[in-house]
Chains A and B, each alone.
Chain A
Amino acid sequence: MPRLPITKTPKVYVGGAFIRSESGRTFPLRDARGRLIGHVPQCTRKDLRNAVEAAAKAGPGWARRTAYNRGQILYRLAEMIEARTGELSHALAPASNRAAAREVAASVDRLIHYAGWADKCEQALGSVNSVAGPFFNFTTSEPMGVIGVIAPAECPLLALISLIAPAIVTGNTVVALASEPQPYPAIVLGEMLATSDLPGGVINLLTGLRRELLPTFASHAHLRALSGVANAEERTALERGSADSIRRVRLRADTARTDWFADTAQGLSMIRDLVEFKTTWHPIGA
């Protein structure tokens, strides 16, 4: 008689812990053949606020780590994903096995790309400025704080990682909303985050409905920036809501057709989008 397999209860990774939504709400997730994969948490605005709190708490410690250390932790995350390619590929269904494996590989490569940036981006982003006077004047980059990431429907693993990695590499922490139609890869990703040396709260992943959660992304004053993909109506609401706290908004139009596999979907400019620049002056004298 065949053994009855143990199915996994999907939980989201918030504040370093695996949680269900505080509301207890879930929505069923089925594979292409209509078989139940599991009941995914339908996170609420309260879950989002809790996640922001966890991210805010983790922020200072993460930002204080050395860039070298952050780079190593991103690399470690890539190692964790590489080792569990099969599991993540499975989570990426209904994509074909080949397409899923390609997306996992690209996600690993993306993390490696940003792991390497950790202790180099400052040399490319910062500057020493020759001012017309006896002053030492330099500009450095600093993390913004808690970044709200809104992942697109497509490429549920690669796009999510492409949006998160440039945010955390400089010391930001993230609250990310996973792909609405394909949330399962984010659930599995959470399990890899938990084993990657990444401190709890640096990446917080939520699953749920955009129409329920985006208004809180728009209004939450502790989210210092928004990054991700949104349609015209969502962008208008998110940008309007951002006016209250003069939040930085880095949203792409869903019509922009980003090729997440391409080299253009990574790089210094994505890091630059999520840092603040600080200029310090000091007199030169005896």
Chain B
Amino acid sequence: MPSAPARSVRRRRTPTAPELIFGNLWEFDPSPETADPKLKAQYDLLIDGRFVPARRGARFTSINPANEKALAEVALADESDVADAYAAAARAFPRWSRLPGSERGKYLFRLARLLQDRAREFAVAETLDGGKPIRESRDFDVPMAAAHFFYHAGWADKLTYAFPGARHVQPLGVVGQIIPWNFPLLMLAWKLAPALATGNTVVLKPAETTSLTALKFAEILQEAELPPGVVNIVTGAGATGAAVVAHPQAAKIAFTGSTEVGRHIMRATAGTGKRLTLELGGKAANILFDDAPLDQAIEGVINGIFFNQGHVCCAGSRLLVQEGIADEVVARLTLRLRSLRVGDPLDKNTDVGAINSGEQLARIKRLVAAGVREGATLYQPPCALPRKGFYFPPTLFTGVQQSHRIAREEIFGPVLSILTFRTVDEAIEKANNTAYGLSAGVWTDKGSRILKLSTELKAGVVWANTYNKFDPASPFGGYKESGFGREGGRHGLADYVTLS
């Protein structure tokens, strides 16, 4: 298909009138969220409906990445605890799976409602434990988690409608689920809701640095009087996760996290007959054409990479700008960067909160240093970072080549790599020139071009003239090394059932 040559579009020059630069030039009064997160000093595992300490009594400390202060002591599950969890889930499975769908659904509706009731408390806990801005946990993570339960609740008694031609829709059994630290509660909802709606029972392992909202959710499971053993929560690090993957009773492993760990899980489950879904890394291209609505596009690009400090597997971390507007776009982005407020995640004015862990901060710094070393041009706005805690300023790289590590590797931080292109075909080729294929963004005013790109881009989610939108009804998941299986919608149910 012939592609339109790059046109130079005449645009108004950047106005010379005085500009309002907020950022650090305008000090805002602190506006901290003060709701009580109701955290306990100590958390145990949820096994068979009861809170129990780890058999060996081991614990680890969960800290607040915003100030490195300890938040709570969390039980560290080992193989024996994981085995207990699987045994409980296996005991609960026959009754749970035979429950009429309408009854199972009512439990999920309850979970949605109870979470909504305690939304503010959960939002504060999520921000404390993970470092994300309270505005995001309050307006996105928690309501979206509740929405996932509400959506899937309604599926429980309608499963045959989800699969045309299938006479019987059967659950798999006990499902092992391992979730990441970037959206702890939301990922819990993405995993639990479809598994439970379809009649499976679950052993869930939250990420080591962000276990607290899952353990608070365990309280909600109890409040909802979910039958014991239907959901079991084991906390810990990599070894606990490995035990969840290795347990012979797992009918399926559902994992969200890095591609590297995804590969380990594929190898570990090879030949076992365990079903597998993987939602892994990404290096999404956000493609900006010269006819795009620029005001919206700039906000979309900013949201695409700085949402949740860039700890987003579908983050628009590669900006592909059509050459004719590259200078203007970079100028607008640098200006916009200066008004992003980095700091206390609990402050309601904060745009970019704390990096989730010291380890992740070190990784971001390593890759940014590689970007500078390989010859890309770095821009960071002047901003004072808090002295304690893990922070990284919003960062742009211009002059990025496709071979640069910052254009190939997932940084999982607030770092945007900007590349340029001339033609539609070049944009498609560059966008697809990655091992990943989770998401992509397209900004253009031309409808046929949007549909061409959404067809040609090898990505599971394509956002056209928008970015980072999610919904329980909208299937999410990757192509290529971004994993397989979908979460959400009718398609997400398929990975938790067998059809006959």
Given A139, A269, A276, which contacts B479 in the complex, CB threshold below 8 Å?
A276
> Is the beta-carbon distance between B461 and A279 smaller than 8 angstroms?
yes
Instruction: Report Cα–Cα, A205/B235, bound state, in Å.
Output: 49
**Shortest Cβ gap from A271 to chain B (Å):** 11
* Chain B positions 244 through 259: 1 when the CB is less than 8 Å from some CB of chain A, otherwise 0: 0000000000000001
- Which residues B449-500 have CB closer than 8 A to chain A? 450, 454-455, 459-466, 469, 471, 473-477, 479-484, 486, 489-491, 494, 499-500
> Is the beta-carbon distance between B271 and A129 smaller than 8 angstroms?
no
Q: Which of A103-111, A193-201, A234-242 contacts B (4 or more CB under 8 A)?
A: A234-242
Instruction: Report Cα–Cα, A137/B463, bound state, in Å.
Output: 9
**Shortest Cβ gap from A199 to chain B (Å):** 19
**Shortest Cβ gap from A43 to chain B (Å):** 25
Q: Does A133 contact B (CB under 8 A)?
A: yes
Given B164, B270, B271, B463, which contacts A124 in the complex, CB threshold below 8 Å?
B164
Q: Does A130 contact B (CB under 8 A)?
A: yes
Least CB separation from B482: chain A residue: A246
> Is the beta-carbon distance between B266 and A133 smaller than 8 angstroms?
no
Q: Does B18 contact A (CB under 8 A)?
A: no
Instruction: Report Cα–Cα, A144/B164, bound state, in Å.
Output: 22
> Is the beta-carbon distance between B483 and A236 smaller than 8 angstroms?
no
Instruction: Report Cα–Cα, A243/B280, bound state, in Å.
Output: 12
Q: Does B262 contact A (CB under 8 A)?
A: yes
B interface secondary structure, majority? mixed
**Shortest Cβ gap from A260 to chain B (Å):** 17
**Shortest Cβ gap from B249 to chain A (Å):** 19
Report chain B residues within 8 Å CB of A236.
270-271
Least CB separation from A241: chain B residue: B270
> Is the beta-carbon distance between A131 and B273 smaller than 8 angstroms?
no
Least CB separation from B269: chain A residue: A239
Report chain B residues within 8 Å CB of A281.
461-464, 466, 469, 474
> Is the beta-carbon distance between B259 and A246 smaller than 8 angstroms?
yes
Instruction: Report Cα–Cα, A283/B269, bound state, in Å.
Output: 41
Q: Does B278 contact A (CB under 8 A)?
A: yes
Report chain A residues within 8 Å CB of B484.
246, 248
> Is the beta-carbon distance between B471 and A239 smaller than 8 angstroms?
no
* Contact (A130, B473) CB under 8 Å given A246-B481, A281-B464: yes
> Is the beta-carbon distance between B271 and A239 smaller than 8 angstroms?
yes
Count A/B pairs, Cβ under 8 Å. Answer: 118
Q: Does A27 contact B (CB under 8 A)?
A: no
Report chain B residues within 8 Å CB of A139.
474-475, 489, 491
> Is the beta-carbon distance between A132 and B491 smaller than 8 angstroms?
no
Report chain A residues within 8 Å CB of B473.
129-132, 137
> Is the beta-carbon distance between A244 and B263 smaller than 8 angstroms?
yes
Least CB separation from A267: chain B residue: B165
* Chain A positions 255 through 286: 1 when the CB is less than 8 Å from some CB of chain B, otherwise 0: 00000000010011100100011111111000
Most buried by A among B262, B455, B461, B474: B474
Given B165, B259, B475, which contacts A279 in the complex, CB threshold below 8 Å?
B475
* Contact (A246, B480) CB under 8 Å given A139-B489, A235-B271, A282-B450: yes
Report chain B residues within 8 Å CB of A277.
460, 475, 477, 486, 491
Report chain A residues within 8 Å CB of B278.
246
Instruction: Report Cα–Cα, A267/B273, bound state, in Å.
Output: 22
> Is the beta-carbon distance between B271 and A232 smaller than 8 angstroms?
yes
Q: Does B35 contact A (CB under 8 A)?
A: no
> Is the beta-carbon distance between B266 and A242 smaller than 8 angstroms?
yes
Report chain B residues within 8 Å CB of A238.
270
> Is the beta-carbon distance between B483 and A282 smaller than 8 angstroms?
no
> Is the beta-carbon distance between A279 and B460 smaller than 8 angstroms?
yes
> Is the beta-carbon distance between A246 and B166 smaller than 8 angstroms?
no
Instruction: Report Cα–Cα, A232/B499, bound state, in Å.
Output: 23
Instruction: Report Cα–Cα, A268/B167, bound state, in Å.
Output: 13
**Shortest Cβ gap from B286 to chain A (Å):** 13
Instruction: Report Cα–Cα, A235/B272, bound state, in Å.
Output: 9
> Is the beta-carbon distance between B460 and A278 smaller than 8 angstroms?
yes
Report chain A residues within 8 Å CB of B463.
280-281
> Is the beta-carbon distance between B271 and A240 smaller than 8 angstroms?
yes
Given A131, A233, A240, which contacts B267 in the complex, CB threshold below 8 Å?
A240
Instruction: Report Cα–Cα, A272/B486, bound state, in Å.
Output: 12
Instruction: Report Cα–Cα, A166/B241, bound state, in Å.
Output: 36
> Is the beta-carbon distance between A131 and B471 smaller than 8 angstroms?
yes
Q: Does B147 contact A (CB under 8 A)?
A: yes
Least CB separation from A253: chain B residue: B273
Report chain B residues within 8 Å CB of A283.
465-466
Report chain B residues within 8 Å CB of A268.
164-165
Q: Does A127 contact B (CB under 8 A)?
A: yes
Instruction: Report Cα–Cα, A283/B445, bound state, in Å.
Output: 12
Least CB separation from B483: chain A residue: A246
Q: Does A245 contact B (CB under 8 A)?
A: yes
Q: Does A68 contact B (CB under 8 A)?
A: no
> Is the beta-carbon distance between A246 and B471 smaller than 8 angstroms?
no
**Shortest Cβ gap from B384 to chain A (Å):** 36
Given A130, A133, A240, A272, which contacts B469 in the complex, CB threshold below 8 Å?
A133
Instruction: Report Cα–Cα, A245/B471, bound state, in Å.
Output: 28
Given A124, A129, A130, A135, which contacts B475 in the complex, CB threshold below 8 Å?
A129
Instruction: Report Cα–Cα, A268/B500, bound state, in Å.
Output: 12
Most buried by B among A124, A139, A242, A278: A278
Given A132, A237, A244, A282, which contacts B465 in the complex, CB threshold below 8 Å?
A282
**Shortest Cβ gap from A168 to chain B (Å):** 19
Least CB separation from B454: chain A residue: A280
**Shortest Cβ gap from B468 to chain A (Å):** 10
A-B contacts, 10 listed (Cβ < 8 Å): A127-B489, A127-B490, A139-B474, A139-B475, A239-B271, A243-B266, A278-B479, A280-B454, A280-B464, A281-B462
- Measured CB to CB, the residues of A under 8 A from B are 124, 127, 129-133, 135, 137, 139, 142, 224, 232-233, 235-240, 242-246, 248, 253, 264, 267-269, 272, 276-283
Beyond A237-B271, A280-B462, 14 additional pairs, beta carbon < 8 A:
A124-B164, A127-B490, A127-B491, A129-B475, A129-B489, A132-B473, A242-B270, A243-B266, A272-B494, A276-B479, A278-B479, A281-B469, A281-B474, A283-B466
The 7 closest A-B pairs by CB, nearest first: A236-B271, A239-B270, A243-B266, A131-B471, A240-B270, A129-B473, A243-B263
- Measured CB to CB, the residues of B under 8 A from A are 147, 163-166, 259, 262-264, 266-267, 269-271, 273, 278, 280, 450, 454-455, 459-466, 469, 471, 473-477, 479-484, 486, 489-491, 494, 499-500
